[in-house]
Structure 1
Amino acid sequence: MENTKSIEENGIAILKLKLSGCASVDKNIYENDKTPFTDGSLLLYSDDHYAKSHFEQEIRCQVKTTIDSKVKNNKEYRKLDRSTLKVYQRIGGQLLFVVWIKSSTNAYEIRSFTRI
């Protein structure tokens, strides 16, 4: 059975791999991040040179990862409470990624994402 830290690290690695096809996106999402509301950000550029002159936008990100055994056992998975949503609103919103790792097959899905 995997511990929470390794599950989160795997989820971030999967997300970065999935986003690697986006050449004009600099992925600054951090493992073992201790900030309470954000796991990093995506920096969007007009091309793949990442020059300051080509910078367009920063989008804060939060990554949540779960494994299928937790879902199948109907265990609660981190809910977003009202106070957390209010913080997201105050900081201008962010992109939420939910990565579901199917532990029996080592497959994965990014089940949903939304800007909140």
Structure 2
Amino acid sequence: MAGHTISAYADEQTYKQVSELAKAEDRSTAQIAAAALRLYMRLPRRAHDALRRLEAAGPEALDAAAWAAGRALLDQQYDLTVAKGLREGGQASTSADEAALLEEAASLVRKTR
């Protein structure tokens, strides 16, 4: 698939965070930026407006929204994984397994804050 280059300005803190994340994930900064853009473009326009209002409200509001969005993504991934396991003939996980998985997911989200 042919691609195009899109430039973006990032403040020093964002640049450092993206660079560190790219290194940790063994990806390029361009791959991180492209993934962020793909997600943003899938959001409804009203979510774009909400994001701008949250940015204007300050970092705490944006952090809370990012945590909630991360949680929603992890919930969706969990649901897809369970559905795939059930389709492939696996057994539904026990509540103890679910609790451990949810705690691990929450800890991963907290690490990115």
* TM bucket, shorter chain: under 0.3
Of Structure 1 and Structure 2, the greater helix share is in 2
TM-score, structure 2 normalization: 0.27
- Higher-Rg structure is 2
TM-score, structure 1 normalization: 0.27
